[in-house]
Structure 1
Amino acid sequence: MKLVWSPERASKAYIDTVKSCEVVNESGVAELVSAMAAGWNAGFIVETWSQGGAIATSIGLAIASRHTCGGRHVCIVPDEGSRFEYVEAIREVGFSPEVIVGEAEEAVQGLVGIDFMVVDSLRKDFAGVLKLANLSNRGAVLVCKNANSRSATNFRWRSVVEEGSPRCLRRSVFLPVGDGLDIAHVAASGSNSRSGKGRSRWFKHVDQQSGEVHVFRK
């Protein structure tokens, strides 16, 4: 099997996230990430979060998990303080999150079959987390939020896909949404990355805060 895009799931998740994120007065990144996770029918969604971080993206991912087949959403937090803040914030909008407390690089190795992953580029360990993640054998979409941060300056997706790795970088794109989104589609080695080659699609994202329209092709 491979990741297959569904515009219908993406649209539903986007709309639901717009409605929910009005509560926390944040928008843009959350809606886009939610639509992507749902659109790719990500069965296992993982994110990293630390105390004081924006919660809208997490809400978007939780919503996306409800629009996928058997969706599971897990958040890795560094300590109990982060866990408490995260759980309280997510529960306010009606979700019961699955949370793992511990070092992200260690915790992610115990999670198998990740389809969609979001990490925060503000954390120095974000590249290591991506590199150590056990991805689904049908491939995965990896997202770095806050990609304009100093810690992300020298990051390259090729560092996540080393020679001899059972991964293959199919495509990547940087979107000027929020503080920057760096997104990559990583396929399992040997998989057919371009079934229906030549039939790429254009996608449009409207930043709810600035009104800017971003168009990109997959």
Structure 2
Amino acid sequence: MKLVWTPDTALKAYVSTVRTCENFKESSVAELLSAMAAGWNAKLIVESWSKGGPISTSIGLAVAANHTGGRHVCIVPDEGSRSEYVKAMHGAGMVETEVLVGEAEELMAGLVGVEFLVADCKRRDFVRVLRFAKLSPKGAVLACKNAFQKPVSGFRWHGVLERGTRVVKTVVLPVGQGLDMAHIGSNSGSESSKRGPSRWIKHIDQKSGEEHVFRG
């Protein structure tokens, strides 16, 4: 088994997120990540967040989880972050997200089978969020938002992920403050022999009008 792309679900999540996030900052990031999480039919969607951060991405991921019937979990470093996050999400009408408080190592160890993960490069522990992720054997999609502001020089996916993780492809997108994304292959054998034809995903930034096209 491996993750399978479902374009209809991606489109529905994208449209829902556009409507919900039209008044938020970084809405283009939220729309894209929501469409991708829904399109890959992710059942366990995890993100990291800290106090003072934009909430639009979280809304988009919650929308995606609603479309896939999945679980959306946010990990935060302290109670102050949890309180602010819950208040902001409830204000946006999102009440289903689970919020876990603590260190990245401990929290990620308890989240087994992650299929879609968003780490915020503004958080000092974003590398640990990635390194300790327990990814689904079906594969996963990982995203680092605010990638142009990484505090880590020479960042390489192979260098931060658990040894033996198969990174099928990576891409850096000029959306928001940068999205550095990686597609992790399933554990069921050679990805090249089983993967179907590549699909092109088009994303239009609602504010700038710029069109970004990349392979899914």
Shared fold per TM-score greater than 0.5: yes
Change (3 A) 1:83 1:45: same
What is the deviation of 1:24?
2.7
C-alpha RMSD of matched pairs (Å): 1.6
Aligned 8 A contact 2:2 2:186 in 1: no
Structure 1 outlier segments of 4+, above 6 Å: none
**Aligned position for 2:93:** 94
Equivalent of 1:172 in 170, 178, 192: 170
**Aligned position for 2:84:** 85
Aligned 8 A contact 2:30 2:59 in 1: yes
TM-score by length of 1: 0.93
Written as runs of structure 1 = structure 2, the 5 A alignment for 1:140-151 is: 140-151=140-151
1:185 aligns with 2:180: no
- The total of aligned residue pairs comes to 215
Identity %: 59
1:110-169 CA-partner distances (Å, limit 9, x unpaired): 111100000001122211211111011101100000000141442111113454x2x211
CA distance in 1, matches of 2:121, 2:52: 14
CA distance in 2, matches of 1:125, 1:45: 18
**Aligned position for 2:211:** 213
Aligned 8 A contact 1:6 1:39 in 2: yes
CA distance in 1, matches of 2:10, 2:185: 20
**Aligned position for 1:130:** 130
Q: Which runs of 5+ in 2 are unaligned?
A: none
CA distance in 1, matches of 2:141, 2:7: 16
Q: Which amino acid aligns with 1:60?
A: G
> Which stretch shifts more, 149-158 or 202-211?
149-158
Secondary structure of 2:198's aligned partner? coil
CA distance in 1, matches of 2:138, 2:150: 32
**Aligned position for 1:21:** 21
Secondary structure of 2:80's aligned partner? helix
